[in-house]
Structure 1
Amino acid sequence: MSNSSFPTEFLLLPFADTRELQLLHFGLFLGIYLAALLGNGLILTAVTCDHHLHTPMYFFLLNLALLDLGTITTTVPKAMANSLWDTTAISYAGCAAQVFFCFFFLSAEFSILTIMAYDRYIAICKPLHYRTIMNSRTCVNMAAATWGSGFLYAVLHTANTFSLPLCQGNALDQFFCEIPQILKLSCSDAYLREVGLLMLSVTVASGCFVFLVLSYVQIFRAVLKIPLQQGRHKAFSMCLPHLVVVSLFISSGTFVYLKPPSMSSSSLNLLLAVLYSVVPPAVNPLIYSMRNQELKDAVWKVMTGVCQKQ
């Protein structure tokens, strides 16, 4: 196999052709990135500092904030740099790194969201056994399994994708390196091997989705049986932010990979990629804090310089 089968760099899809629009894109992404850093950073600091938040729910929220920071940092800074310097190039190694970290953080995030649904299910449907089931050791083990499985999946997919010969040029129809776009450059049917791995991942993700749905069916059935309106309101306040985040993550990601070919276009690909890889990390902190007074108070203490440690 010749070295020409492996390009030295890839060309990413630009957001705009004119200099003015490129600078507008840079400013917009800079604002989104700073909002994500601020929001997730406040959650990380609040959960770490306030001992009232040292519970399983906020422990998993802390992990979600870390994954959100990783996801948006993998793609947005490079897109900003390309817009600022009027280029579309990314090195072969840089592209491989983007694929690895994107797959790592996004797959781990979906696992964390699934675990958070399980945590809410135990808290609402089996409250008397909550402390026994969701003890600190179990929470740490589940979080470690999430990060570990995400790492292994990322290694497997990245190694397999970049072992394929690429003979269809080096231009990607996306603003960051994405496995489906790289597979389009493959020389032969060897890409079917990676398609098989992607289908395995989709199967695992479908299992998680079914678990999420069943968990929320049981949660809502239990909530509707709560006699007091205040109790139902508190239960919904615990679940609705997570449900909104899960819905945004799944709907955008599913449409990206399962949309019919007739709907495929560069502009639509860019928009959908922004929806599933850029928007959630920026808005997740806002969604989780809107209906959570406890988290709001902790964040306010961080912003005013009060930090409670135990």
Structure 2
Amino acid sequence: MEDIASGNHCTVTEFFLAGLSEKPELQLPLFLLFLGICLVTVAGNVGMITLIGFSSYLHTPMYYFLSNLSFTDFCQSTVVTPKMMVNFVTEKNLISYPGCMTQLFFFLTFGIAECYTLAAMAYDLYVAICNPFLYNVIMSYQTYTSLISGVHIIGVLCASAHTGFMIRIWFCKLDVINHYFCGLLPLLKLACSNNYINEMLILVFGTLNIFVPVLTIFTSYIFIIASILRIRSTEGRSKAFSTCSSHILAVAIFFGSLAFMYLQPSSVSSMDQGKVSSVFYTIVVPMLNPLIYSLRNKDVIVAFKKVIDRKH
């Protein structure tokens, strides 16, 4: 660490990332575990994007949203996982101040984009199940491209606001981030200056970026369930439920861990608990999503078999 004097303040030019665990005997097993997760995540998400891209059978809004989810998950994992893995094989995992702010920006961009992508997918399911005859009219090319663009614009705007106000904060003396990446809460714990605006941004944006997507998802599913219950055939009901099951599982895992991390009062939230829940939505969820959608989705399985048969 280097200290630069500036009046009564000093600032840091680099941080130490404490990582997941400081126990020496756990470093190699954790490295191998997360290396495996990283490889599965990259293969799963890149594979899903490629499969959807090359299978005309999957060229529908539903799968374009899934492709966008895979892109977001892939980016999210590459922002966080490689730096965390460095921590397992080095004594002190340093990250420069600009590097830390860059990681924070992209972590927030893709994390927020994932919230809204899951909401857009719920709306798409609602249209598909509740208005199947109007699906192609409602979910036109303009509609889903606007939704996907909107998802990423919201992510960039919120991340820019958070990162912009984080850059204004003074960090001094304490330079060890008690986490495996540069997150909002771990960074704020090191602040020497007033961080009231940052805390308000976390509360407002955090609530908004969880509440709006969750409300969209919840409302969509109220109409979806009501529509499914009106289906008379058992086969029709089970087909409709199986269409939604992958999305419900992805939503439950992602928003559950996210809410656990960010919607606790600071007095009761433990940073070690936060690390565990962070692992779920930054590392485990990006790995699980392509597995959930590929193993539980008949269209994806059929498209995959067609690609394999074409190669033979």
Q: Does the alignment pair 1:42 with 2:83?
A: no
Displacement after TM superposition at 1:263 (Å): 4.6
Q: CA deviation at 1:26?
A: 0.8
Asked if 1:158 corresponds to 2:163, the answer is yes
Match of 1:102 in 2: 107
Contact 1:111-1:146 at 8 Å conserved across structures: yes
Q: Match of 1:217? A: 222
Superposed displacement of residue 277, structure 1:
1.0
Q: Structure 2: how far apart are the matches of 1:13 and 1:62?
A: 34
* Partner Cα separation in structure 2 for residue 298 and residue 41 of structure 1: 15
| 8 Å CA contact retained: 2:118, 2:213 | no
1:284 aligns with 2:284: no
Distance 1:154 1:266 in 2: 21
Who is 1:208 aligned against? 213
Rounded to whole Å, the distance in 1 between the matches of 2:275 and 2:42 is 22
Name the SS of the counterpart of 2:175 in structure 1.
Answer: coil
3-state SS of 1:5 partner: strand
Give the counterpart of 1:194 among 170, 192, 198. Answer: 198
SS in 2 for 1:167: coil
Q: How far 1:27 sits from its partner (Å)?
A: 0.6
TM-score (norm 1): 0.93
SS at match of 1:10: strand
Mapped partners of 1:284, 1:5: distance in 2: 43
The yes-or-no answer on 1:236 pairing with 2:235 is: no
Q: Which residue of 1 aligns with 2:35?
A: 30
In 2, the alpha carbon distance for the partners of 1:306 and 1:157 equals 48
**Structure 1 residues 116 and 29, CA gap change in structure 2 (3 angstroms):** same
Alignment of 1:1-310 (within 5 A): 2=6, 5-167=10-172, 169-189=174-194, 191-205=195-209, 206-261=211-266, 263-302=268-307, 304=308, 306=310
Q: CA deviation at 1:180?
A: 1.1
TM-aligned CA deviation for residue 266 of structure 1:
4.4
Unaligned runs of 5+ in 2: none
How many residue pairs align between the two structures? 305
Q: TM-score, normalised by structure 2?
A: 0.92
Cα pair distance change 1:2/1:305, threshold 3 Å = farther
Q: Distance in 2 between matches of 1:201 and 1:264?
A: 19
For the 8 Å contact 1:168–1:186, the answer to whether it is kept is no
Give the gaps of 5 or more residues in structure 1: none
